């Protein structure tokens, strides 16, 4: 079964205020088994344009990723994030098919 992911591109306008969001999102991420794969590490925008922070969170599957985003706990975290940052978030199903190395 393919995993589910959140891919977030974020510009933080108030770093101190953003800390409240980070604290609040820990509960729903833990509850739904979210796991950070990328959390704003070193990057190079090879093409196009992204925001200053890129975050990728993995879930067991797409339904779980969506359920976490739709949860009341995450809705409370979103309210903390809205005034201190601008975010584009995609919830996406992973790919579980053939790969180029498979021939």
Predicted structure pTM score:
0.91
pLDDT for 7 equals: 97
pLDDT for 41 equals: 85
User: How close are the terminal C-alpha atoms of the chain, in Å?
Assistant: 21
pLDDT for 22 equals: 95
Classify 94 as helix, strand or coil.
coil
**Pairwise CA distance, residues 100 & 7, whole Å:** 23
Query: What are the 10-residue block averages of pLDDT along the chain, 103 residues in total?
Result: 96 96 97 96 89 95 98 98 96 94 71
**Pairwise CA distance, residues 26 & 6, whole Å:** 14
Q: Is 7 exposed, middle or buried (0-12, 13-18, 19+ CB in 10 A)?
A: middle
pLDDT for 90 equals: 98
pLDDT for 103 equals: 60
Classify 37 as helix, strand or coil.
strand
Q: CA of 69: how far to CAs of 13, 16, 32, 75, 85, in Å?
A: 22, 23, 10, 7, 17
Q: Identify the CA nearest to 59 among candidates 87, 89, 98, 29.
A: 29
């Amino acid at each position: 079964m393919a995993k589910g992911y959140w891919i977030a591109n974020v510009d933080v306008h108030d770093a101190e205020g953003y800390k409240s969001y980070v604290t609040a999102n820990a509960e729903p991420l833990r509850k739904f088994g979210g796991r950070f794969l990328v959390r704003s590490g070193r990057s190079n925008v090879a093409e196009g344009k992204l925001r200053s922070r890129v975050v990728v969170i993995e879930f067991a599957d797409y339904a779980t990723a969506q359920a976490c985003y739709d949860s009341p706990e995450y809705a409370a975290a979103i309210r903390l994030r809205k005034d201190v940052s601008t975010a584009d978030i995609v919830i996406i199903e992973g790919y579980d098919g053939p790969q180029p190395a498979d021939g």
